[in-house]
Structure 1
């Protein structure tokens, strides 16, 4: 089985736990998620299975969309509702006040990864250090917030829709909004609704996947790699190039009459099949991620 399962991760479950359940249900060892979703958060968690594990990094790079509830008047050590309250403050934040500062939190931003995160320091995850009371200040990272929409709310509690780049911490964004309004705030609810075009409307719960597996119909829940990689521009090669492509031999662009831009990745097709992901190297097209199995290549 090769493809991507769009799992609806429930709250209070780690991303690694989800992958372990998928491996057990599908009886397949080769599986991995496409970027950690906080244990307390719910929503889209694509799990790559089989050869599709090779495209996990490409999915991970894509933009994300979240629905988040921000609550003013308190802050926690994890910046969400699963942590311990570290400070409270008098707060009377109204909708108009929050709306005024949202433009300041769009575009390029610098964020410092929170201590309760999966970012690593000297081989250990920050949250592992945080649980032992060890504080490490990681350098600021540049992220991009494309859009923030204020969906509703009254006093001190508001619902936001946020579209952002990979690596954006919504918890930190909400905490920073609290500071910007001379208050304090935490993320009281978080749901990822999209990652790299994979939407929450198309998710399956783990029990649903298990039922489909028992019914022998689990393939319907697996998105093929061709579909998941549709955000990359395709290149269609002549059939005579099949044996070169599938052995990783660089293709002379001029001889193959192919037009390829530098520093851009493409899905490469030949004989109607997805061969892999390729990019320009000097004057050739090079497969940088082979998506064909060796057994598929003996033609």
Structure 2
């Protein structure tokens, strides 16, 4: 049994198909199937149930795959330790961010990060918060920019910045001529929100509860850009994160007075990560960049 066999095993479990697993592992299907058979012979238990059309993992296989993931992650940690001693600021790193932040913030900071860390190959992953948390824990992503709080004992975090929300409303709305709005101004108003699964939806619902506003239940958007277009079409108003504000015909953005709604973004990574020093440097550089931009 070796790391290659464990990689094959996990690939079959993830893909549920020997052919697709072989493609992922860049080997022929007969070669991969043969190694899985050898692994089953070595362990003395079947790992998969095979039919002409499907591959189902056995209970023994499920438990062994779970341990295989741990072994593969530890092997990757060993490689990362060696890389960090050769050059702490070099190598590959996968950085995640959620959809209501990634397309608006990352273009502002990634070029500067590339310039500051020229030997670092930075790859970006955009997913919803719960997906990114699982990817960090599984070692598929090194770190991710997420809105706090994230309750996960396996993760450490460093705060990056606080981003205020503005009220985005149609240009023909009764409040559009104001220079700012208060919570009282939107009491009993209905707000357009994102669909389930977006952390911004949770944050906006908290604001609705706080000010006595309500959700427009007739429409839920899949993205901030859809929300922006719905506001421009005079369907309703919404909360827009500061970094996502951009000019759009028919849309007016107003800042809040008083207790301004906001979200705090932090860089989350595994407590066991061997690249904590690098991640801390990245966090510090992002803080500096946002501070300069502000």
Q: TM-score, normalised by structure 1?
A: 0.24
Query: Of Structure 1 and Structure 2, which has the larger fraction of its residues in helix?
Result: 2
Query: Of Structure 1 and Structure 2, which has the larger fraction of its residues in strand?
Result: 1
